[in-house]
Chains A and B, each alone.
Chain A
């Protein structure tokens, strides 16, 4: 396993610009999750996919946020018209569903977004 990878690792943008992040999960992991983490807080769930299907979205995911996983492999998270409050670390995780018990989610290194 090469692990979960995220690109870019850092992004600085101006308020009002659109940004897109990419996540490549561990191969053969059918679930992919997005979380947001602000300084001094635990990660907050945004959304997750099982294969191509987006199964759950948090109320945190406003209409400026959209996520896709078109072929059930990599995923993108787009933020339109960024605001300073969007500044955070965006974490991606992946897992493989098992017959019983909870999946183990493996996290990528994150993309740190700074909105000026």
Chain B
């Protein structure tokens, strides 16, 4: 069965600092991986997805993620945090059809 694990339920960074949100996956087949963001009282918005076309995936709002098979990881990064990045971030994997989500990481950005 496929699964994802997000390390750190809460991450706090200063405005302008690097954002690094960790996600590790478990899959017996090449996975399709996603990062979604959820702002308070809103639905989820897709940031980016990995479909095996390229290991470095660029998404919206300056985020990117790198697929590393040897580390079974798909960490999300952004070079410089902005106050508007404060939200909950979810990593997800799909075996086809449904999405299987991690527990989420809440990102706080300090001024």
Contact = CB atoms under 8 A, between A and B. Distances in A.
A67 interface: no
Contacts, number: 58
Contacts of A48: 97-98
Interface of A: 4, 31, 33, 35, 40-45, 48, 55-56, 58, 91, 93, 101-102, 104-110
B90 A104 contact: no
Nearest to A55: B97
Interface in B13-57: 32, 34, 36, 41-46, 49, 51-52
Contact of B43 (A40, A42, A45, A110): A110
Contact of B44 (A43, A44, A56, A58): A43
A106 B46 CA distance: 8
A54 to B, nearest CB: 12
B96 A42 contact: no
A42 B90 contact: yes
Given A42-B102, A42-B103, A43-B101, A104 B46 contact: yes
Interface of B: 9, 32, 34, 36, 41-46, 49, 51-52, 90, 92, 94, 96-104
A103 to B, nearest CB: 8
B43 A107 contact: yes
A42 B99 CA distance: 10
Contact of B104 (A41, A93, A107): A41
A110 B101 CA distance: 16
A58 B95 CA distance: 14
Contacts of B92: 42
B49 A109 contact: no
19 contacts: A33-B99, A42-B92, A42-B101, A42-B102, A42-B103, A43-B99, A43-B101, A45-B98, A45-B99, A48-B98, A55-B97, A93-B43, A101-B51, A102-B34, A102-B49, A102-B94, A104-B46, A105-B99, A110-B43
B32 A109 contact: no
Contact of A101 (B9, B32, B98, B99): B32
